[in-house]
């Protein structure tokens, strides 16, 4: 087989693959299936603009094909008729595109104003992008933080939520495709984005701006829930609620202390508390707040399910699980991993994880591990 033929077949094969991918049924990040007013707005422009562009494409390509066939050179000494200018045609192909683009512009600008509108009376959440996870701080009417979580943004279903977005390090982009278009989060700047979900569900999203080694591992979820359920979640995640505390045992290896107490001591001794906050225990602000670690279905940028196997693997060597991870390998022994896991499992209520799209509650910790 010659090279050209091979190349053509390769391109054909890839095109078929791309086409088949469009047939997928389960597409949690399908931008063409919006499930909220702020994703429907841009979607409502895509269709008419695509239609207009399609018609223009067919018309122009049709004329080109027609010209190529009808006016091709039929003999070696044939010369085309020489013409110069045609006022009617020139006016037409100037005015028609102006009218079309003005129509598209009108549609677009009205949606831009709609999307740009601020909602000061809606629930306010500060979103901070980090390498490589998301911090979500819930604010009260005065702008004071009342609750905090990471990677999984809980919102009440059918209500507007105003996000105030910034970054702690580099530029990231917040993108839950079914709920909103993507918006960059930029250090030293606040960008605004409104989201609203039609139904109670998990909405998947990801960072959409290359932000370093684990850019691909920077996902997010929006958990939309009935108002009462959301209120319960918010109350449980209040920054005023202290986490469980345990008496500090002298050494993590003390034979008298239980795994949970030893884990608590390790948390303070191994430096975990320098980076992670736990209400009433530690105030670290580098990594995610762990006060309600268990009430999240995922961890580390929403890439791992929050079960014991994944957590143990993570504690064993974070950068091996997630390239570039700022959490270092602490060279913990298997016994220490067991103790830290035991302590982390006391933080937060797994019943607050919300309901997965399949309608089943997210797995409870340990349930997946025999």
Burial 241-253, CB ≥16 within 10 A → b, else e: eebeebeebeebe
Taking CB under 6 A as the binding criterion, the range among 17-25, 54-62, 209-217, 342-350 that sits at the site for ligand CUA is: 209-217
Site membership for ligand CUA, residue 322 (CB under 6 A): no
Site membership for ligand CUA, residue 207 (CB under 6 A): yes
Residues 6+ apart with CB under 8 A from 205: 29, 174, 175, 176, 177, 179, 219, 220, 221, 222
State which of residues 172, 262, 276, 345 lies at the interface with ligand CUA (CB under 6 A): 172
Least gap, CB of 207 to ligand CUA (angstroms):
3
Burial class of 356 by CB neighbour count within 10 A (0 to 12, 13 to 18, 19+): middle
As given in the structure block, the two tokens for residue 171 are: 């530029």
State which of residues 35, 201, 209, 321 lies at the interface with ligand CUA (CB under 6 A): 209
Q: Which is nearer to ligand CUA, 172 or 221 (CB)?
A: 172
Q: Which is nearer to ligand CUA, 288 or 354 (CB)?
A: 288
Helix (H/G/I), strand (E/B), else coil: 93 = helix
Q: Which is nearer to ligand CUA, 172 or 353 (CB)?
A: 172
Taking CB under 6 A as the binding criterion, the range among 205-213, 253-261, 289-297, 356-364 that sits at the site for ligand CUA is: 205-213
Q: Which is nearer to ligand CUA, 171 or 268 (CB)?
A: 171
DSSP per position, 272-283: HHHH-EETTTEE
Site membership for ligand CUA, residue 148 (CB under 6 A): no
Q: What value, to the nearest 5°, has the Cα angle with vertex 104 and ends 103 and 105?
A: 90
Least gap, CB of 41 to ligand CUA (angstroms):
24
State which of residues 125, 155, 165, 211 lies at the interface with ligand CUA (CB under 6 A): 211
Burial class of 83 by CB neighbour count within 10 A (0 to 12, 13 to 18, 19+): exposed
Give the footprint of ligand CUA on this chain (CB under 6 A): 129, 132, 172, 207, 209-211, 215, 218
């Amino acid at each position: 087989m010659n090279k050209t033929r091979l190349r053509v077949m390769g391109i054909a094969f890839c095109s078929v693959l791309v086409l088949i991918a469009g047939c997928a049924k389960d597409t949690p990040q399908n931008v063409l299936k919006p499930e909220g007013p702020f994703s429907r707005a841009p979607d409502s422009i895509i269709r008419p603009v695509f239609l207009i562009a399609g018609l223009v494409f067919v018309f122009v390509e049709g004329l080109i094909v027609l010209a190529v066939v009808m006016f091709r050179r039929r003999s070696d000494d044939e010369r085309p008729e020489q013409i110069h200018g045609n006022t009617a045609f020139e006016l037409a192909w100037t005015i028609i595109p102006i009218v079309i683009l003005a129509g598209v512009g009108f549609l677009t600008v009205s949606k831009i104003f709609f999307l740009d509108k601020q909602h000061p009376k809606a629930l306010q959440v500060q979103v901070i992008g980090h390498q490589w996870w998301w911090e979500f701080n819930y604010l009260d009417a005065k702008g004071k933080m009342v609750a905090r979580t990471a990677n999984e943004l809980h919102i009440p279903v059918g209500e507007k939520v105003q996000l105030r977005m910034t970054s702690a390090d580099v530029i990231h982009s917040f993108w839950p495709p079914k709920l909103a278009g993507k918006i960059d989060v930029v250090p030293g700047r606040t960008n605004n984005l409104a989201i609203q979900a039609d139904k109670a569900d998990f909405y998947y999203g990801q960072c959409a701006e290359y932000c370093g080694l684990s850019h691909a591992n920077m996902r997010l979820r929006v958990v939309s829930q009935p108002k009462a359920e959301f209120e319960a979640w918010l109350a449980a995640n209040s920054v005023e609620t202290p986490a469980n505390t345990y008496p500090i045992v002298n050494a993590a290896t003390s034979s008298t202390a239980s795994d949970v107490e030893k884990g608590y001591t390790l948390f303070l001794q191994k430096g975990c508390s320098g980076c992670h906050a736990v209400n009433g225990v530690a105030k670290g602000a580098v990594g995610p707040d762990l006060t309600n670690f268990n009430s999240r279905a995922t961890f580390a940028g929403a890439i791992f399910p929050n079960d014991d196997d994944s957590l143990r693997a993570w504690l064993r060597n974070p950068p091996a699980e997630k390239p570039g991870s700022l959490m270092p390998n602490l060279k913990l022994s298997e016994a220490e991993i067991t103790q830290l896991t035991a302590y982390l499992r006391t933080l937060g209520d797994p019943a607050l994880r919300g309901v997965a799209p399949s309608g089943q509650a997210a797995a409870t910790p340990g349930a997946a591990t025999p």
